[in-house]
A = this chain, B = another copy of it.
Amino acid sequence: MANKAQVLYDFTAEPGNNELTVKEGETITITNQHIGGGWIEAQNSRGEVGLVPEDYIEHCGIVQNCCLLCLLTRKLQPVFMHVTLGAEDDEWDDEWDDVKSSGGYAESESGESGAMQRGGAHGSSMKISLNKFPGFSKSGPELYLLCKQLVKGKDKLPIYMGEVGPVWSYPETQLDCVVADPKKGSKMYGLKSYIEYQITPSTTNRPVNHRYKHFDWLYERLLDKFGSAIPIPSLPDKQVTGRFEEEFIKMRMERLQGWMTRMCRHPVVSNSDVFQLFLTYKDEKDWKTGKRKAEKDETVGVMIFSTIEPEAPDLDPIEVEQKCEQFSRFTRAMDDGVKEILTVGQEHWKRCTGPLPKEYQRIGKAFQNLSSVFNSSGYQGESTLTDAMTAAGKTYEEIAQMVAEQPKKDLHFLMETNNEYKGLLGCFPDTIGVHKAAIEKVKEGDKLVATSKISPQEKVTMAKRVSIMSYALQAEMNHFHSNRIYDYNRVMQLYLEEQVKFYETIAAKLRQAHSQFTTM
């Protein structure tokens, strides 16, 4: 099956690594999509074959020998439509029109978002709706810092002082959910089809169905509402190659599960109306009503801070700035650390699935070949040695296979976790950016009062509110740290456990092979 793809970015092959140098705009043929570790194998027009990072390519839509299903559902071109808010007919549209139902405000997003923004686990930035309200397009945090009336009522978000410092209010039982059972659905008499996932929350234990586009809608809502205070990680990739293949569906489900788990774990996100709607809507009517309500929510962007109530004295502006600097440094350093692991892991993946098993296979074959030569000697008493050598050769072939399959058992999870964190860390510059802008605004306080831009009372309010923002940022960082410690403990344990099993199995196989040789 000739599977053409277009190169999105230049990629220079590292010599001796079985990679293929490609240029932006070049058309290549995908020869193997199942390399794993973020690689695909492709052939260029000169017939050269090699590995290319899968992020660097996009399916051309020049699909030959492909089923009608694929053809119809494949996103040929990113289409950005602006639909009327709450329009009925966007409800069950298929994935390819990729509707953003955030309404006419999304203008500024249409350029860069879509494919790029939704780099999923690989994405590295989120788009916060700072300019949701006309007139404040360039002065995001002011909207909150200087607003007259704050939100009241049930939506208040308290912050407590915990052992580690400011913390969000955590529920007694942590919400959880299971994403499972992906099913192909279709509409328009089978001409349009999609994958529907079943999501079962631990609270109700009642499954609801959602398509990827619903997840996407949820993501947009969460980003609008919480993005200024809480990094909302991108959804997993809108992958372009082979989207209906089993492996892809499995991988997407795994990543959607990871994303949902992270959202469930967040006390603020998981408790929000929109998230609860997504998990527990009763029927289509319920869903539509809730959807419209969520889309009309005005406590979005920086206004989220207006709902936050720290139970602690106001912070000194210098401390606010120091904390912010510290978080900025940390997240940048961790971003580097995570990317290093991903780079190393990607290289290791390639070696473990390519040259290394090939070599073990050749060792195995060489032993077996020599064994069969020995068998032809005509000398008596040959078989004890040749049986043992053949067994040893076969053992190395088995080891070859184990080596090739191992990354999917351990490195995969290490990569997935670090990919998730790469996505998450990519959101921090925006969140911290809002914070820094607010700090700058507060610093200008005296000047603004002097030039009568604001009243002295407003200056006091600004300082108080930037303190609230700082509490929110600290609570969020503490949430991040606690999750990070949990996640890395878990993934390192899993990785090392599987590695131990792997080496122990090899040792046991070789011990068995060894026992077949006679001691003379």
Contact, CB under 8 Å: B363 / A348 = yes
Query: Using Cβ atoms and an 8 Å threshold, which residues of chain B touch A381?
Result: 164, 485
Complexed CA–CA distance, A373 and B519 (Å): 53
Query: Using Cβ atoms and an 8 Å threshold, which residues of chain B touch A17?
Result: 16
Contact, CB under 8 Å: B503 / A507 = yes
Contacts A348-B359, A376-B333: A388 and B492 contacting too (C-beta < 8 A)? yes
Contact, CB under 8 Å: A370 / B340 = yes
Complexed CA–CA distance, A388 and B495 (Å): 13
Contact, CB under 8 Å: A380 / B164 = yes
| 8 Å CB contact of A380 from B163, B348, B373 | B163
Contact, CB under 8 Å: A510 / B500 = yes
Contact, CB under 8 Å: A389 / B341 = no
- Closest B residue to A347 by CB, please name it: B359
- What band does the interface of chain A fall in when counting residues whose beta carbon is under 8 Å from B? 35 or more
How many Å from the CB of A500 to the closest CB on chain B?
5
Contact, CB under 8 Å: A499 / B510 = yes
Contact, CB under 8 Å: B514 / A496 = yes
Complexed CA–CA distance, A163 and B379 (Å): 10
| 8 Å CB contact of A362 from B326, B344, B355, B504 | B344
Tell me which residues from 448 to 487 in chain A have a Cβ below 8 Å from any Cβ of chain B.
477-478, 481-482, 484-486
| 8 Å CB contact of A370 from B164, B337, B519 | B337
Complexed CA–CA distance, A489 and B518 (Å): 7
Query: Using Cβ atoms and an 8 Å threshold, which residues of chain B touch A507?
Result: 500, 503-504, 507
How many Å from the CB of A235 to the closest CB on chain B?
25
Question: Interface on A for B, CB 8 Å cutoff?
Answer: 15-18, 163-164, 326, 329-330, 333-334, 336-338, 340-341, 344-345, 347-348, 351, 355-356, 359, 362-363, 365-367, 369-370, 373-374, 376-382, 385, 388-389, 392, 477-478, 481-482, 484-486, 488-490, 492-493, 496-497, 499-500, 503-504, 506-507, 510-511, 513-514, 517-520
**Given contact pairs A336-B373, A500-B507, a sample of 10 additional A-B residue pairs in the complex whose CB atoms are under 8 Å apart:** A15-B16, A164-B381, A334-B374, A340-B366, A347-B359, A347-B362, A348-B363, A374-B488, A388-B492, A497-B514
Q: List 25 A-B contacts (CB under 8 A).
A: A16-B16, A164-B381, A329-B376, A330-B373, A330-B377, A334-B370, A334-B373, A336-B373, A337-B370, A338-B370, A340-B365, A344-B363, A348-B359, A374-B484, A379-B481, A381-B485, A389-B492, A486-B520, A493-B519, A496-B511, A496-B513, A497-B514, A500-B507, A503-B503, A504-B507
